[in-house]
Structure 1
C-alpha cells in the first residue's frame, strides 16, 4: 500500500515533467522555424524601385495638365511629355497611370512623399525647387525670353528696360537669371508672382498691369492662342532644359532606366519628332493668333451647338469636330475649294450623298455628314490602336483615304515598327508613297496628310484651351506678388 501511494503521488510530477518537455520541444521547433524564415528572407534579393514597378504593373506619373506637359480631353490624354512617358511605360511592360494636379508645387509635394514615381513639373531643370530631387537629362530644350504687348516698341537691349515693370514667377530659374542680368539696369522693377501660374503672368501683361513677362519659350508657345495681343520680345540669351523628375534616394534603378530610355529616344530621333508634332510652329504668330481669336469669338458660337449635338450622337469630342471644320473651312459654310469640295466640313459631292447630306452649304447638314463620315473612319481603325494614336490615324485616313492608312500600318509592321503607334506609322508614309509610285499604284499626298493631322491637333488643343481656361478678373486682381527695383538688389 505504501509503495502504491508513493507511485500515485509521483504520477503528477511525471506528468508535469512530460508537459514541460513537450513545451520545450515546441519552443525549439518554433525557434528553429523562425530562424529558418529569417535566414530565407535574408537570402532573397531586395527588390529595387524598378522591380517593384514591374511587379505592380503600373508606373505612376504626377504632373500639371497644361499645353506644355499633357492635355486631358474627353477622357483621353495626349501631349509630348505624356507620349514619351507612355513609351517608357510600354518598354517597362507596365501601364502608365496619370495623376493630374493643379500646380508644380503639388507635383513636387507628391513626388517628395513617394505618391508617384515620375513627375512632370513643366519647370526648367535649373529651377531651385528641384535641388533636392533627381532630375533627368533634358527632354526638351527651351529658351528664356521676354514677352510684350503688340502695341509696345520692342527693346533693343536690356538697358532699354529702365523704368519698366517685368513679371516673373518667384523662386524660378527665370527669376534668378533675370535678376542677375538686370543688376546694371537702373529703375527696372520686378513683379515676382508667389502664387499662380504662367497663365496668370500673361494675363497681367495682357491687361496692361505690367510691361513684360519673363517665361520660357515652350510656355509662351503653348498659351499663345489665348493671347493674340502678345508677342515675343527680347531674348534673355539662356537655354534651359525641361526634364523628368524623380525622388532622390540611394535606389537609382528607375532613374537610370529613364536616362537610358531618353538617350535612346534622343539618338533615334523620337524626341525631335514628338517636339515637332506638338509644337505650334507659326500657326499662332501675331496674325494667326488674332485671326483665330476673332473666329473663336464670332464664328464658333454660331456652330458650337451643332458640333455638340453631333458629338453626343457619335461619341466624339465636339472640340475635335470643330478643329476639323476649322482646318477645312475656317468655319465658313460658303467655303469652296478648286476641286469642288464645299461647306463647313468641305465634303465632296459623293461623300455628302453617302452621308445623306442634301445641301453641303447648310451648316447643320455639313457638320452631321462630316461627323458621320469621320466616325466611320475612326471606327475602322483597329481596337488595338490606343488613343490618341487612334485619332491621329483616323485624321490621316480622313484626309488621304482609309486604304492608304491600312497600307501604312502593314508597311510599319513589315519594317519591325509598331503599327499601333502614329509616330511609327507616320514615319513610314513617305516610303509607302515611293513604293506605290514604283508599282504604278495611287500614292498618298504624304506632306498634305501629315500637315493636316498636325494642324487639326493644333486647333483641337487651342479650342480646348479657349473653352476650358477661365481667366477670372477677380482672381487675377488678387494675385500675391512682390515688387522690387533692381537698384535695391545691387
Structure 2
C-alpha cells in the first residue's frame, strides 16, 4: 500500500478490534416489529445509536467508550447475526425510532429510569453508575451541600436523564439556575467546559467521570445526586425473546462488576470474564488515536489474540508516574504489550517475558542533509541526546569515553518523535532510536535518517504474571503461530514497512488546477467552501490519484475511510464524483465541530487540521493553547504551537485524545495554505477562477 503525504492514518469511527467491521444500513430501515426469531430469519440485528462520526477520545482506563458497541458485536456474533448500525440525529429520537420498529435495540449509555421504563424494556445492567454533581477543581467556592447551590448554575441537556434529577434538586434550592445545553454537545465536552470555568456546574454519570479523570482533567466530584442507577440496552416491550437472550449474554460476562476491579486469575478466569485487559503505552508504535480510529501495532496484535479467544479488548494506559509492571502485579491488567525489551533472565519480580514477537535494532539518527557519521570514529566530538531512562543510555555510557562523543540527557517528558524532531531541526545533534520507531517517523518525513547500528537483534516480548502459566502458554503459542504469518506481516508492514512519501502527479491541463475542477466546484458551492481550497487539499491528500490508498485503508481522491463514507451515505470511492462528494461532505461535518463565531479563516484552518488529525486532537490543542496563554481561536502561531506539544508525554498524558503526531497536521495546514494562495494568484489561468 502507498503512504501518501498528509493522507495517512485516515480513519473514522473506532471499531472493535475483536470483530469484523459491521455494515451500515443503506437507508432508513423499514418498520419491523418482530422478535428474535424474526430477527434470525432476517440475519441482521439493527442497532440504534446517536450519530457520532469519530471516536471521542482515546480509551485509557480499560472501559472504552465504544464498549457497548463491542458488546453488541459480540452478542450478534454469538447469535449468528450481522449488526447493522442505524444512526439517529439525537438521543431523544432513540426511543421513538425503536418503538416505531426502525431498530431492534438501542445503545447509548442509557439510564434505565422509571420514566423510560414506562415505554421500553431495559436489559440487565451493562454498568451501574451514580449521577454526580461536578464542578471545577479550582472553584474558589466549592459546593459542599445543597445550601451552597444558591445562585449557582447547572449546565445539562434537556434530553438527559439528569434533567429530572436537577429539577428535584431545584425544588430543594429554588435559586439554583438550570442552563439548557445544546443537544449536539456531548457530556465529555460539557465536563471540559466546567474544567475551564466556561460552565459553572454539571451532572454526569460516575463511569464517565472516572474516564475523564484519567486524563487529569481539573474537575471535582462534589456530591452524589443519586444512588446506584442502571445503564442498559433498550428493546421494545414485545421483544421478550431478544431481551431474554441479551440478559443471558450480559449476565454471562458479569458486566455489572465495577470498572477497575483487580483480577489476577489465569486464562480460565479471563475467558469467563470474556475481556482481555492489555496494559500499554500511548505512542505511535503501540497504541494511539488518529482521526477517530484506534491504531497501533501492539493494539492490532493484541486484538487478534483477543479475537482468537473470543474476548473483548480493553486497552489500559497508565497515568503519569504509574508503572506498567506494578499495574500488572496488582491485577489491573492481564498482559503488557508495549514493545518491551526483556532482561537477560526474562523475569522481573513476579513478571515473566514471553516468546519474542519482533526484533529491533538500536540505530544512531542524524539529519538527512549531512553525510556522516559513517563509522564510530566519526562520532568524536559529536553530541548524542537520549533519555536516561531509555534502553540506549547504558550502551552509550559504555562507549562514550572510547569513541569520544558527548552523551547528553534529553528531557524525560519528550516522546521519541519529539526528540527526532529536535534532531531534524538542529536543536539536537544526534540521537538513538529503535529502527521500528524510525520507520514510523520516516513514513511521513525525510529530514532524518539512520546512520550507524549500535545493537541488532534485540527481542521484544509481551509480559504476563508468573502466576498465570495458562495465559503465558497461550501468548507463546499465538506468537509462534502468528509470527511472520499473513496477518502479522500485513500489520507489521502497515506500521513499520518502507512506504514512499512520493506520488506521481496526474497530468493537469494548463487551464486547470486539477483534472476534477468542475466536480469540486459543484460540491464546494453546495457546502459553502472555496473550491480552490478543496483542490489544494485534494492535492495534499492524493496528488489527484483516483486509486490512492493509504496504509490505514483510506481511499480515493480525498482519502476517506470506506466506513466513514458509508456513515455519510456515500458508497463508491472509486468514482471521482462520489469520492469528492464524500470528502467535501466530511469536511463540512468537521467544520461543524467548530463554533461559527470563529474568524472565517481560522475556522477553515481548524477544519483542515481536524480533517487530517481528527477534531479531538484539535480540541486538545485549543485547550492547551488557552492554558499556555495563547489564543485558542487563532490557528497560526497560536493553536498550531500548542498542537506541536501534544507529541510530548508532558502534555499528551493529560489530553483527552492522547498522543498526537501533530507535526503532520501542522505541516498539512501550512502546505495547503501555500498551495491555495498560489491558486488564487494564478486565478487568471483558470476558467471561471
Q: Could you state the TM-score of these two structures normalised by the residue count of structure 2?
A: 0.37
Pair member with larger Rg = 1
